[in-house]
């Protein structure tokens, strides 16, 4: 009996989807943007758009989370051809890691060179406040440490190496460019370590204390699998989080995290993030 493996897709599966997209769209994007919860407005900035529902695209997963529209938007952002994912996929939705990251492999076959990932995250760093935008400088991959990696199984050499390095997961040049762009806009950025947990529950008090001790500044339920696959495919990566709530780390606290609060916090800072990403893309 063969041993179970994570990936249920072949190189030809990814290529089939990429070939369908290349036959359907005129633009060939160099930048891909994954829009987190409530951040789909980034795609509205694109000009000369082509919008494709995930349901139209061969083998594409379907997004089930409120705040995720479930469509790819191709177009120009400040003169650069881009593709935006309005809605990502999550491990907690029941998808395998290979399915969560399916679009990233397709993007690499389309010729994408840079991936920008955005998300909503809970603040662990006590100096952060709700509404802060955090540049992700590194991550802690709890599902990956437990064996839930999108790279588990036979390696596909046409994408990348068997053992890709993650010490440079977030591109230093893009981090510097983001800081410079934010400074010109008088937009204050935080910088920190993003920790991915499986979800869909928010963290316990003990878990939050543990994550702080480990050096995490923000926590969420997405992003890291896509980053891992992007680096495996040799894409440059920039990550941005909006701090939508401060985690509960005191047993006497009466606050409770909820998804509605997350979406409300995003709405307050979404335009600032959109402006930052738009101006950043023009310089890539």
Catalytic residues: 37, 68, 90, 92-93, 120, 221-222, 245, 259
Are 281 and 78 a contacting pair, CB within 8 Å? Answer: yes
Tell me the C-alpha distance between 208 and 95, whole Å.
Answer: 25
In this structure, how many other beta carbons lie within 10 angstroms of the beta carbon of residue 43?
25
Are 34 and 116 a contacting pair, CB within 8 Å? Answer: yes
Tell me the C-alpha distance between 82 and 13, whole Å.
Answer: 23
Tell me the C-alpha distance between 132 and 53, whole Å.
Answer: 31
φ/ψ region of 166 (left if φ > 0, alpha if ψ in -120 to 50, else beta) reads alpha
Helices vs. strands in the chain: H and E counts, helices first: 8, 9
Alpha helices, H only, the chain: 11-24, 97-100, 102-110, 142-145, 172-184, 205-214, 224-232, 259-281
In the beta sheet, which residues pair with residue 114? 31, 236
Backbone phi and psi for residue 224, each to the nearest 5 degrees, phi listed first:
-60, -45
Cis peptide before 200 (omega within 30 of 0): yes
Tell me the C-alpha distance between 132 and 272, whole Å.
Answer: 10
Residue that is written with structure tokens 């509960």 in the block: 248
Tell me the C-alpha distance between 147 and 167, whole Å.
Answer: 19
């Amino acid at each position: 009996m063969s041993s179970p493996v994570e990936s249920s897709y072949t190189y030809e599966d990814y290529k089939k989807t990429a070939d369908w997209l290349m036959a359907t769209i005129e633009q060939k994007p160099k930048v891909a943007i994954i829009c987190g919860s409530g951040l789909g407005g980034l795609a509205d900035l694109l000009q000369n758009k082509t919008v494709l529902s995930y349901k139209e695209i061969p083998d594409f997963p379907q997004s089930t989370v409120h705040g995720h529209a479930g469509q790819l938007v191709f177009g120009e952002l400040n003169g650069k051809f881009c593709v935006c994912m309005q809605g990502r996929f999550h491990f907690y939705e029941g998808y395998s890691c290979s399915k969560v990251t399916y679009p990233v492999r397709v993007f690499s076959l389309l010729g994408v060179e840079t991936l920008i990932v955005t998300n909503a995250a809970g603040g662990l760093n006590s100096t952060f406040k709700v509404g802060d935008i955090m540049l992700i400088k590194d991550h802690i991959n709890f599902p990956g440490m437990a064996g839930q990696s999108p790279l588990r199984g036979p390696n596909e050499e046409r994408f990348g190496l068997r053992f890709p390095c993650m010490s440079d997961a977030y591109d230093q040049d893009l981090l510097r460019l983001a800081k410079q762009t934010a400074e010109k806009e008088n937009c204050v950025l935080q910088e920190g370590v993003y920790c991915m947990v499986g979800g869909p529950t928010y963290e316990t008090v003990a878990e939050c204390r543990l994550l702080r001790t480990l050096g995490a500044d923000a926590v969420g339920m997405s992003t890291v699998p896509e980053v891992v696959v992007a680096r495996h495919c040799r894409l440059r990566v920039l990550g941005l989080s909006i701090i939508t709530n401060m985690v509960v780390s005191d047993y006497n606290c009466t606050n409770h995290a909820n998804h509605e609060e997350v979406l409300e916090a995003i709405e307050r800072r979404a335009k600032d993030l959109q402006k930052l990403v738009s101006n950043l893309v023009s310089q890539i």
